[in-house]
Amino acid sequence: MMADHRGERCGVIGELRDPPHFFPFMRPDTPLSAATTLRLDITLGLWCAAVVVLLAMFARMTGLVARAIGPMPGWVFALCIVAFGSGVTGFLIARGIARAHWKTAGRMDAAMLLAARGQCPSCASWLLSTPPESDGRTTCPACKAAWKVGNTDGCPGCGYDMSQVPATAGPLAICPECATLSTASADATDTPPPRG
Ligand SMILES: [Zn+2]
Ligand SMILES: [Zn+2]
């Protein structure tokens, strides 16, 4: 369960239910906040480091590399074991931090980014043709969850003033600061930029 932008409890689409995988290609195609991506990248970096050290030790044990570039001294091998242990421990801790972050803030950030693009984070319905209500929230016609669609308060990723940024990706505008997508504001689409 999650809370919508009016603080009401609402459902959550499958793509946002589980914490995102640290392998980018294993993640669903949903937007993630910079804070979430950073934690996933650190997890991935530690995983890669542990694998590289493991491969180095494997090469030493099989003697393949040892024959080509000379034997690995014992102290280097001991260092490798320490590095591998640290890498695995660090990876497990980083993955735990990323998962905890997803439950506390990451999922809601991702829901906000998805809603800003015009899709309901509760049921995946499109909200682009539904006008916002007086409180600035758009009520999803399918599931009645309320979301902030578009970028009237600035870029949902970094707060950049998007009022003059026109739609360049279908109905969406791309933030020039952080490349976050959001539904272009009516001002930017209705009035063409002044010539001169
Ligand atoms: Zn919905
Ligand atoms: Zn931005």
State which amino acid sits at residue 30. Answer: T
The tens digit of pLDDT for each residue in 18-60 reads 999 999 999 999 999 999 999 999 999 999 999 999 988 887 7
Whether 168 and 189 have beta carbons less than 8 Å apart is answered as no
What sections of the chain are H helices per DSSP? 14-17, 34-62, 64-69, 74-101, 107-116, 186-190
| Residue 74 scores a pLDDT above 50 | yes
Report how far apart, in Å, the C-alpha atoms of 111 and of each of 64, 65, 137, 190 are. Answer: 50, 49, 14, 27
Residue 146 alpha carbon to ligand 1 centre in Å: 8
Residue 12 alpha carbon to ligand 1 centre in Å: 9
How far apart are the C-alpha atoms of 61 and 18, rounded to whole Å?
Answer: 39
How far apart are the C-alpha atoms of 33 and 5, rounded to whole Å?
Answer: 17
Q: Grade residue 186 by pLDDT with cuts at 50, 70 and 90.
A: confident
Q: What is the pLDDT of residue 196?
A: 47
pLDDT above 70 covers what percent of the chain? 92
Q: What is the pLDDT of residue 56?
A: 84
Q: What is the pLDDT of residue 36?
A: 97
For residue 91, give every residue at least 6 positions away whose Cβ sits within 8 Å of its Cβ, in sequence order, or none: 43, 46, 47, 50
| Ligand whose nearest atom lies closest to the CA of 151 | 2
| Ligand whose nearest atom lies closest to the CA of 124 | 1
Residue 165 alpha carbon to ligand 2 centre in Å: 11
Residue 108 alpha carbon to ligand 2 centre in Å: 17
Residue 18 alpha carbon to ligand 1 centre in Å: 19
State pTM to two decimals.
0.85
Domain ranges of the chain: 2-116
The tens digit of pLDDT for each residue in 148-167 reads 999 998 999 999 999 999 99
